[in-house]
Structure 1
Amino acid sequence: MLRVNLIAWDNGVGLSRDLKLIADTLRDAGIGVDIQPARGRGKLRKWLGPWWRRARVQWRRWRSGPAYDLNLMLEHVRPELLGAARRNAFIPNPEWCQPADVKRLHRMDHVLAKTGHAVDIFRQRECAVMRIGFTSMDRHDPEVPRLRTFFHLAGRSSAKQTQLVLETWARHPEWPLLTVVQHPRSAKFRPQADNIAHRIDYLDDAELRRLQNESLFHLCPSETEGFGHYLMEALSVGAVTLTTDAAPMNELVTPERGLLIPFARTASQQLATRYQVDAGAIEAAVQAALDLSAEEILARSRAAREFFIDNDATFRHRLVQAVREASGRGIAG
């Protein structure tokens, strides 16, 4: 059996979701997967952990050879674990790929890219790149009545331009309801407006899923994305998704299944570019959404849902094939 060592920080949010999704997909294909936590809690474990893991890997390799066919590292390259497998592959998020990771790219046999944008970034660095795409949880619930309202899932992120969204909406009392879900620690700006429901309290998953399905429009002006989970979740429920007209956001959302917002300026974050929109662009996009007919909304909604289903199946096939090729145990299609 092909054995994979899946390595990432189980952070309780995005990376934890990615770990489970990748592990489940590979196990369903008959591939053995162990999840290796990349760091422990506390400063002492953070400092001593890499040293201890490197020593343990070297000892095991000396006694019986590499324990795995492939190390699959998410977001960061972990040099202390390179010897645990015969080959090494990296699934990066360009916006979190730090200089130390870039220096270690030559030690990766393959980079498995989530987006076309990432393919370009890592091919420019002469990496052997395979595009796998990615997927997200299917949040669709056809039993929830759809309303001509807007939804914005900010979570803990600082790259969703949430304050700009709130400021812009507060200037338009004539607009319909906007529901914003945001982590309390990130909710620094809290406007009072009758057409804004700013949810910074605890939401269980059932309530969050209801809110995602309830609004016909999802407003997602991301500055940057490693993949775009909240965009893909919006597409999964058949929402008309408004997002930034820049890569990789516009790889997921196209005019056939959403509305694109032009960016006004850029900034850098590690290997990625941050694309920032302005209030005028948000106003124009929201108005364009409000002007859509029922037939136009239905067409975009169906296209969004179909894209999610097709992408999900394609990703799972690509991931399994890429892991087999990267490990030297198969040929990718």
Structure 2
Amino acid sequence: MARVNLVSKDNDSGLSVDLKVMTEALKRLGHDVVWADFRDAGMRECDAAIFLETPSEALLSFARRTVFVPNPDCLDDDEIKLIDRFDHVWAKSQTMHRIAAELPVRHLVLTGFATPDRSRPKKRRKHTVLHMAGRSTAKNTAAVVEAWHRHGAELPPLAITADWDLSFLGLTLPQNAEHLGHVDRGEVANLLNTYAIHLLPSRAEGWGHGIVEGLLCGAQVVTTDADPMNAHVRPEFGWLLPAADEEMSGRVRCKRVDPEDVAVAVKEAAALPAKDRAARGRLGRAHALARNEAFHAAVRDAMGELLS
């Protein structure tokens, strides 16, 4: 058993999920795991420190071996300057692996990642659409809203969760749509299992927990045809929207989707017979579960190599 420090920030969002996922993976292997805030000046001495998205030069000396798990959409020049200080860099996605392969890393591992299973099989689904933006403005919410402005009468009802008012992006709520505002983490599982269609056309993702959560819950998931989104969702059980390049975020180029493509995909998902929806939902869930288990196997192998 090794003493492992997970270094990041508990932000009640994606990084909080990352911390929980990595903690579970390491505890499965029998390691002693504690969390440390990357802003602290010190932490307990440990056999390995794993930095999730947020490296800290001040904390490197407290660990015998170190790992950096970057997100490409947040990777900045200051973090890149530190990247050769880490014994391992673990890549969640093919995109991150490609970017890191061009940087002076000591040892690069494609681990993938995992997402908690929040499915409630007995929950009755509404034949409606869920767009979960949360704190992020990088979910192509403008294209989603515009699709309902143009075609709302032909589409199922839409529910939007966002911690910000739509006017922040200059948007207005269309007919046949509601804005649920901020949703507590405890209520998220209820929403995930209530809505039949999950519309998550992200502009960029480090991993995309929201997309995978939908698959694990057996929903029909519509997302962007770009990595890592299209590694989660495949045409045989979901919908991939054509993507156009926009500005850079970190080390990746954001993607834009067209409202017309959004409307077409949602109409197709809504028109599926119940039997086909169930079959596609099972395929999507199986795909997500397999990727979860592949991550646990990759962490087992990578930790063995790191600590040897």
State the TM-score, normalized to the length of structure 1.
Answer: 0.85
1:265–1:277 Cα contact (<8 Å) kept = no
2:196 corresponds in structure 1 to 216
Task: Give the CA deviation at 1:29.
Answer: 1.8
Greater Rg over alpha carbons, structure: 1
What is the aligned counterpart of 1:289 among 269, 272, 292?
269
Identity rate of aligned residues, in percent?
35
Task: Give the CA deviation at 1:108.
Answer: 1.3
Task: After superposition, give the CA deviation of every residue in 1:22-45 in whole Å (9 maximum; x if it has no partner).
Answer: 123212321112211112xxxxxx
| SS of 2:154 mapped into structure 1 | coil
2:59 corresponds in structure 1 to 81
Partners of 2:37 and 2:187 in 1: how far apart? 30
Tell me, yes or no, if structure 1 residue 134 matches structure 2 residue 103. Answer: no
| SS of 1:223 mapped into structure 2 | coil
| SS of 2:7 mapped into structure 1 | strand
Task: Give the CA deviation at 1:204.
Answer: 4.2
The within-5 A match list for 1:153-168 is 153-168=132-147
Partners of 1:199 and 1:264 in 2: how far apart? 29
2:87 corresponds in structure 1 to 109
Gaps of 5+ in 1: 40-48, 61-66, 329-333
Partners of 1:16 and 1:283 in 2: how far apart? 32
What is the aligned counterpart of 2:179 among 181, 198, 221?
198
Provide closer, same or farther for how the CA distance between residues 205 and 12 of structure 1 changes in structure 2, counting only shifts above 3 A: closer
Tell me, yes or no, if structure 1 residue 145 matches structure 2 residue 105. Answer: no
Task: Give the CA deviation at 1:289.
Answer: 2.0
1:327 corresponds in structure 2 to 307
Task: After superposition, give the CA deviation of every residue in 1:145-200 in whole Å (9 maximum; x if it has no partner).
Answer: 12321111110011101122112212222211111111136763563444112101
Task: After superposition, give the CA deviation of every residue in 1:269-305 in whole Å (9 maximum; x if it has no partner).
Answer: 1111211112222122223323433333222111011
The within-5 A match list for 1:1-333 is 1-39=1-39, 52-53=41-42, 67-127=45-105, 128-172=107-151, 173-184=153-164, 188=168, 191-200=172-181, 202-205=182-185, 207-328=187-308
Task: After superposition, give the CA deviation of every residue in 1:100-123 in whole Å (9 maximum; x if it has no partner).
Answer: 111111111111111122111111
| SS of 1:310 mapped into structure 2 | helix
Task: Give the CA deviation at 1:136.
Answer: 1.4
Provide closer, same or farther for how the CA distance between residues 8 and 167 of structure 1 changes in structure 2, counting only shifts above 3 A: same
2:51–2:67 Cα contact (<8 Å) kept = yes
| SS of 2:6 mapped into structure 1 | strand
Which deviates more, 202-211 or 91-100?
202-211
Q: Aligned pair count?
A: 305
Partners of 1:325 and 1:204 in 2: how far apart? 39
| SS of 1:154 mapped into structure 2 | strand
Which deviates more, 218-227 or 1-10?
1-10
Partners of 2:229 and 2:125 in 1: how far apart? 24
Partners of 1:71 and 1:85 in 2: how far apart? 6
Provide closer, same or farther for how the CA distance between residues 302 and 16 of structure 1 changes in structure 2, counting only shifts above 3 A: same
Task: Give the CA deviation at 1:205.
Answer: 4.4
1:245–1:261 Cα contact (<8 Å) kept = yes
Gaps of 5+ in 2: none
1:238–1:301 Cα contact (<8 Å) kept = yes
Runs of 4+ aligned residues of structure 1 deviating over 6 Å after TM superposition are none
Amino acid at match of 2:129: F
1:156–1:186 Cα contact (<8 Å) kept = no
Amino acid at match of 1:96: C
| SS of 1:80 mapped into structure 2 | helix
Partners of 1:97 and 1:113 in 2: how far apart? 12
Partners of 1:170 and 1:156 in 2: how far apart? 23
2:230–2:240 Cα contact (<8 Å) kept = yes
1:43 corresponds in structure 2 to none
2:145–2:173 Cα contact (<8 Å) kept = no
| SS of 1:197 mapped into structure 2 | strand
1:242–1:260 Cα contact (<8 Å) kept = yes
Which deviates more, 281-290 or 265-274?
281-290
1:77–1:101 Cα contact (<8 Å) kept = yes
Partners of 1:287 and 1:185 in 2: how far apart? 26
2:223–2:241 Cα contact (<8 Å) kept = yes
